[in-house]
Structure 1
Amino acid sequence: MDEFVKGDKVEVCSKEEGYVGSYFEAKVLSKLPHRNLYKVKYKNLVTEGEDPLPLIEIISADELRPMPPKLSQPLTFHRDDKVDAFDLDAWWVGYITGRRGNFFSVYFETTNEKCEYSLERMRRHLDLVNGHWVSSATRHHLYS
């Protein structure tokens, strides 16, 4: 398990019902001394009320992962490619099921929904395997 320090950019892997399979961008504010907990400030989530501020939460270490590396954006995606689509302030893991013009249909197993996204709102899905980022396509090839 990774140790994070103040200022590290991370993704919070939500375990809340309705948000399983989503990753929210955040920054580590501190590690709590008594447990494997971190205080994080979300990039896109804010507090409720008239003057919303970035949401700050205490998160268990097992819900954090380092930010995946920025890869060059592919020119296109193909059917069955595993991707992350940006929606509702988070990255969601899904599979390409089709294409209509400049939009791609993405199916999400966790919510059993299909939505359309432009290329700008998607990225290649990467898995964190033994501390290394691996393309799901490569991983499938390596481990099948």
Structure 2
Amino acid sequence: MEAFRMERFFERDNEIEVTGKEKGFLGSYYAARVIANMGDNYVVEYKELLEDDERTHCKETVMAHDVRPPHPNQTLPSGPRDYSSAKKKFGFGEQVDAYDNDGWWVGIVTGKKGGFCTVFFETTWDHIAYPVTHLRPHLEWRNGRWFPGKNRGRFVAENSYFSHELVECILDEKIEQEKVKKSEVQRDHEHHRMQSGWELKIVQSRTVWA
């Protein structure tokens, strides 16, 4: 068998992505940096994955063929309701990476509505709606170059599981959830503003009586 040939060497502190290959992590990518180059493998420190103490970044030794350069569009969403790039457009059947659980997961766009897309994950058979800001085009790193992901429109169109009614239901539920969250944030903000106003009035009142 021909020995594995590294397509690119990475040195200490290089930004990379690590491909998840273990059960439950297939089709996922995690941002990391190189701690040490060990030849056939690397010691890496993950950017988003934390230890149980929720403060220390996870470190791991990974095989060289599971490491690739950062995705050209590696910007992470700044928050769960980050709509700063809401003009992103993804087509039906397009392969995308969805940001979830501190990593990027490969999926297929099955529908879109109001700034959200439904994404189907073949490795888990999950079907979830995401803001478009939590998606990026899926790219494959081969022979030192980036290649676009396959269009799976035919697979989606020929599978009765992806009915229009189901996709609409998932999208509508997600949109409603986001409306509720937005309302809660606005209510909390208004409560904080009113509380700050009352505290200021109390301070001013004490100043006058003093």
User: Once structures 1 and 2 are overlaid, which stretch shifts more, 74-83 or 98-107?
Assistant: 74-83
Give me the CA root mean square deviation: 2.0
How much has 1:130 moved relative to structure 2? 1.4
Correspondences of 1:1-144 after superposition (within 5 Å): 1-32=7-38, 35-49=39-53, 52-70=55-73, 75-136=88-149
Alpha-carbon spacing, 1:74–1:127, altered in 2? closer, same or farther (3 Å)? farther
Q: CA deviation at 1:137?
A: 5.4
Q: CA deviation at 1:75?
A: 2.8
List, as ranges, runs of 4+ consecutive aligned residues in structure 1 with deviation greater than 6 Å. Answer: 71-74
TM-score, normalised to structure 1, is: 0.86
Q: In the alignment, residue 67 of structure 2 is paired with which amino acid?
A: L
Q: Give 1:52 deviation, angstroms.
A: 2.4
Q: Which runs of 5+ in 2 are unaligned?
A: 1-6, 75-84, 152-210
Instruction: Tell me, in whole angstroms, the C-alpha distance in 1 between the residues paired with 2:86 and 2:15.
Output: 20
**Matched-pair identity in %:** 36
The number of aligned residues is 135
Higher helix share: 2
Between the aligned partners of 2:11 and 2:50, the Cα distance in structure 1 is: 22
Could you tell me which amino acid in structure 1 is paired with residue 25 of structure 2?
Y
Query: What code does the residue aligned with 1:10 have?
Result: I
Per-residue deviation, 1:124:
0.7
Segments of 5+ residues of structure 1 without an aligned counterpart are: 139-144
Is the 1:84–1:94 contact (alpha carbons within 8 Å) kept by the matching residues of 2?
Answer: yes
Bigger relative CO (Cα 8 Å, ≥ 6 apart): 1
Q: Which has the higher strand share?
A: 1
AA at the equivalent of 1:30: A
Q: For the pair shown, which has the larger CA radius of gyration, 1 or 2?
A: 2
